[in-house]
C-alpha cells in the first residue's frame, strides 16, 4: 500500500481505518460494506482512504464487491488472506463465508 508522504489521516479516513482494523482475521468487508457500516461515504471514498493510508491496518481484508482484492496488490492480498484462513475461490474471496458485518 502506498502512503502520501506526511499527510495525516483526516477524521473520515481515521474512521475508515478504525473499521478496517476491527475486521477479524479470516474475514473481509467490501469497500461498500465499510461505507455502509460508517453511515457515510462510498466505496470510492473508502478506496481512496485505503490507497493513501491502508498500510496502517490489515488492508487485505477490504475487497471489491466481487470478492476480488484490488490491484496492484492482488497476489499479496491473496497470500495474506490465505495465511489467515480466509476462504478463497481462485482470485476471489468467498464472500458468503468470509464477509464480516461489523458486529
Domains of the chain: 11-95 (1.10.10.10)
Specify the pLDDT at position 32.
98
Alpha helix stretches (DSSP H) within the chain: 11-22, 31-38, 43-53, 74-83, 95-98
In the chain, which residues have pLDDT < 70? Answer: 1-6
Specify the pLDDT at position 53.
94
d(CA 34, CA 5): 25
In what helix (H) or strand (E) does residue 88 lie, and over which residues does it extend? strand 88-89
Specify the pLDDT at position 3.
47
Specify the pLDDT at position 6.
62
Q: What percent of the chain shows pLDDT beyond 70?
A: 94
In what helix (H) or strand (E) does residue 63 lie, and over which residues does it extend? strand 62-63
Cβ–Cβ < 8 Å for 12, 41: yes
Amino acid at each position: 500500500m502506498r502512503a502520501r508522504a506526511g499527510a495525516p489521516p483526516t477524521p473520515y479516513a481515521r474512521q475508515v481505518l478504525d473499521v478496517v482494523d476491527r475486521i477479524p482475521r479470516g474475514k473481509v468487508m467490501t469497500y461498500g460494506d465499510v461505507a455502509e457500516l460508517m453511515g457515510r461515504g462510498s466505496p470510492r471514498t473508502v478506496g481512496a482512504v485505503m490507497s493513501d493510508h491502508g498500510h496502517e491496518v490489515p488492508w487485505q481484508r477490504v475487497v471489491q464487491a466481487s470478492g476480488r482484492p484490488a490491484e496492484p496488490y492482488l497476489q499479496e492480498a491473496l497470500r495474506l488472506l490465505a495465511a489467515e484462513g480466509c476462504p478463497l475461490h481462485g482470485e476471489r474471496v468467498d464472500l458468503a463465508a468470509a464477509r464480516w458485518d461489523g458486529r
